[in-house]
Chains A and B, each alone.
Chain A
C-alpha cells in the first residue's frame, strides 16, 4: 500500500522560529510536492521537486524553502515563521510521465504560529 507520511499532525510554533516540516514517501516516486490549504482558498502549491536536489517554485514560495537530499524525503522549511503561515500543510508524491497527476497525499500537518 502506498504511503506518504508527515512528521507531525499538529504543530504549534512561535513567530520568528525556524520550522521544519518533513515528508517521507515509500513509493520510489520522483516527484514530490508541498501544498498549503486554507479555508476559501483551496490547495495552493508552495514548492515541488522532480528529483533529488532539484526544486521548483510553485505559486506561493515566499517565506518558504525546501530541501530534497534523498529521493524519499522532501522537507519544507519556514525560515522565520509568521502568523500568516498558520495553515494545513500537505505533502504529495507522484511518478513522472502519464502518472504525474496521480498524486498521493500525506495526512497533513496543521501548523499554528502564535
Chain B
C-alpha cells in the first residue's frame, strides 16, 4: 500500500471549516483514499473514502487532486466533538487486510 504523509497537528476554531491535508504521491491506480478518525479513548471511526472523484457524506467531504497524489478532508463546520486524530490511509478496495493507520493528524477544535 502507498505511504501517506500528514501534518502532526492542526488547530481549528469551532464553526470554521477544518481542512486536513494528506500526501500520497506513490498511490497506485487501484488504490483508494480512506479517512478515519479516533476520538480519545474510543475505537477508530470510518469517515469517508474515494478513488478519484470528490466525495461527500453527512460527516465530511473528500477532495482528491486530479493527479491523485494528494487529498484533503474537509469538516465544513467543526465542533468541539471533532477533536480527534485523523488518519489518511491508502489501500486497495478489497484487500481484506489490515489498514496501515500511521500516526495521523491530531486536530484540536477550539472554542
Chain A interface (Cβ < 8 Å from any Cβ of B): 4, 31, 33, 35, 42-45, 48, 50, 58-59, 90-92, 96-98, 100-108
Which of B17-25, B65-73, B98-106 lies at the binding interface? B98-106
Smallest distance from the beta carbon of A110 to chain B beta carbons, Å? 8
Smallest distance from the beta carbon of B110 to chain A beta carbons, Å? 24
- With most chain B CB atoms within 10 A of its CB, the pick from A31, A42, A44 is A42
Query: Which of B43, B89, B95, B102 lies in contact with A100, CB distance below 8 A?
Result: B95
Interface residues of B in 47-80 (CB under 8 A from A): 49
Known A-B contacts: A43-B99, A58-B98, A103-B46. Give 14 more (CB < 8 A): A35-B98, A44-B98, A45-B97, A59-B98, A96-B94, A96-B96, A97-B93, A97-B94, A100-B97, A101-B34, A101-B95, A103-B99, A105-B45, A108-B41
State which size class the interface on B falls in: 20 to 34
Give the residues in chain B near A42, CB-CB below 8 Å.
Answer: 101-103
CA gap between A104 and B42 in the complex, in Å: 12
Is there an interface contact between A45 and B98, defined as CB atoms closer than 8 Å?
yes
Nearest first, the 5 closest Cβ-Cβ pairs linking A and B are A105-B43, A45-B98, A43-B101, A98-B93, A100-B96
Query: Which of B43, B97, B101 lies in contact with A107, CB distance below 8 A?
Result: B43
Query: Which of B44, B93, B95 lies in contact with A43, CB distance below 8 A?
Result: B44
Is there an interface contact between A108 and B98, defined as CB atoms closer than 8 Å?
no
Give the residues in chain B near A96, CB-CB below 8 Å.
Answer: 94, 96
